[in-house]
Amino acid sequence: MGITFGEDIPLERTQLPEWFMKRLLDWGTSAGMEAFNDPERDGHSTVVLGGKVLVVDIDFSINRTHPEKPVIDVATCKTAYAIPNSTATSSTGNSISLDGFLADAIRAFLNEVQKDDAERDTVEAARLGRLLSDHFAYLMKLDHLALSEGDGGLRWFNFIDRMSLEVEKLAGSEADAIGRCANAL
C-alpha cells in the first residue's frame, strides 16, 4: 500500500477548481481513459472521460459568488456505453446507478478538499482520491471486457443496474420486516 502523505491541495482557494479538474483528468488518463476538459464558461465546466466502450460525461457547477472561495460541485454525471462497430440496435445504454455512484464519489472528494483549512483532512482527501482513481481503473477493466466480448459485453455494465434494483427490493422488504417487528413491540 505504501505511505500516504495526504492530498496536495492548493493553499490558495481560488486555484481549487482548476486544480481539481487537472486531478480528475490525471486520474482518468492514469486509468487508461481518454480525458477532455471544456474550459469554464458561465459557471460550468465539463469533463469527458472515455474508453473504447464507456464514456463518462461530468458537468460541474462552479459558484464564484465569493471569488476568494469558489465552490465546485457535480451538476450532472452521465455514463454511456456502446460497442464500436456493433450491428445490434440494443448495444447502447447508460447506467443511472453508475451515474449516481460516480457523482457521489466525486462529491465526497470535493466536500473534503473544500472544507476550511482547520477542518480539512488531507489524508482523507488522498484516500477518497485514490478510491476515485480505483473506480476509474475498474471501469476501464469492464470497458476492455465489454469490447472483447462484442455485443454481449455490455452485460458488464447492465449488471450494475440489475443488481441495484435487486438490492433496492431487498432493502425495501427488510425495512418492511423491521417496521412490522417494531410495531409488534
State what percent of residues in the chain have pLDDT above 70.
92
Which of 54, 57, 78, 28 has the alpha carbon at shortest distance from 153? 54
State what percent of residues in the chain have pLDDT above 90.
59
Helix (H) or strand (E) holding 134: helix 122-149
In whole angstroms, give the CA distance from residue 175 to residue 170. Answer: 9
Q: Are 142 and 23 in contact (CB under 8 A)?
A: no
Residue with cell 417487528: 181
Q: What is the pTM of this model?
A: 0.83
Q: DSSP letters of 36-56? A: EEEEEETTEEEEEEE-SSEEE
